[in-house]
């Protein structure tokens, strides 16, 4: 059941690809997504970052919409490659659903839309990472057939100021 009674069950949620015209609805959700990962709120940074990705075609953002207008979530895919498979892949880096729309199925619908888009675009697979503590998301991924990688460690190293 949805957290807010104004939202109906997942049957009325549909997806579409975002355009630069959607910037104003994506920015607050992207800013909230960053705050979930313990970054300070910075709407200007969020606007600049998303605008650049959309205008430069550097990512694909899928929107989850309730009814005709209300955007309730998004996922952002970055095109990249798998050298071992010698094929293109998508990295699903961002997935966010508005708190009032959670438990309506929007997250799963976004994941399914990403999978369809990847398959239609000839991608070999989708990759994602999530916080070890984000057990709700992990359960959603696994319920849709995502497999947790237990063979490799993920590393990162900051190189900037």
- Split into its structural domains, the chain has a count of 1
Q: How far is residue 74's CA from residue 107's CA, in Å, rounded to a whole number?
A: 8
pLDDT grade for 10, boundaries at 50, 70 and 90 = very low
Of 10-14, 34-38, 127-131, least confident by mean pLDDT is 10-14
Angle between helices 106-120 and 135-143 (to 10 degrees): 50
User: Which pLDDT value is given to residue 73?
Assistant: 97
- Assess if residue 78 is contained within a domain: yes
- Assess if residue 75 is contained within a domain: yes
- Assess if residue 150 is contained within a domain: no
- Assess if residue 31 is contained within a domain: yes
Distance of CA 22 to the CA centre of its chain: 15
User: Which pLDDT value is given to residue 131?
Assistant: 87
Does residue 46 have a pLDDT over 90? Answer: yes
* Residue reference for tokens 């799963």: 108
- Assess if residue 127 is contained within a domain: yes
Does residue 134 have a pLDDT over 80? Answer: yes
- Assess if residue 121 is contained within a domain: yes
User: Which pLDDT value is given to residue 60?
Assistant: 98
State whether residue 25 is helix, strand or coil.
helix
pTM: 0.89
User: Which pLDDT value is given to residue 69?
Assistant: 72
- Assess if residue 103 is contained within a domain: yes
Does residue 13 have a pLDDT over 70? Answer: yes
- Assess if residue 161 is contained within a domain: no
- What is the tens place of the pLDDT at every residue in 51-100? 999 999 999 999 999 877 789 999 999 999 999 999 999 999 999 999 98
Long-range contacts of residues 80-85, Cβ cutoff 8 Å, at least 24 apart: 82/124, 82/125, 85/124, 85/125
**Mean pLDDT value across the chain:** 90
Q: How far is CA 30 from CA 88, 94, 156, 159, in A?
A: 25, 8, 22, 24
What's the DSSP call for residue 40? Answer: P
Q: Residue 102's domain is classified under what CATH number?
A: 3.40.630.30
Task: Give the residue numbers spanning the domain of 97.
Answer: 10-143
């Amino acid at each position: 059941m949805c957290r807010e009674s104004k939202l109906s069950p997942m049957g009325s949620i549909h997806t579409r690809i975002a355009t630069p015209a959607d910037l104003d609805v994506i920015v607050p959700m992207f800013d909230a997504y960053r705050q979930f990962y313990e970054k300070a709120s910075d709407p200007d940074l969020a606007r600049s970052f998303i605008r650049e990705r959309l205008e430069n075609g550097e990512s694909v953002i899928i929107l989850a919409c309730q009814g005709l207008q209300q955007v309730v979530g998004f996922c952002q895919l970055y095109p990249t490659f798998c050298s071992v498979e010698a094929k293109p892949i998508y990295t699903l880096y961002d997935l966010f659903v508005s708190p009032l729309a959670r438990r309506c199925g929007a997250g799963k619908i976004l994941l399914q839309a990403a999978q369809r888009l990847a398959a239609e675009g000839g991608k070999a697979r989708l990759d994602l990472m999530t916080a070890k503590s984000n057990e709700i998301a992990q359960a959603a991924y696994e319920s849709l057939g995502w497999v947790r990688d237990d063979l490799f460690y993920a590393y990162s190293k900051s190189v900037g100021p």
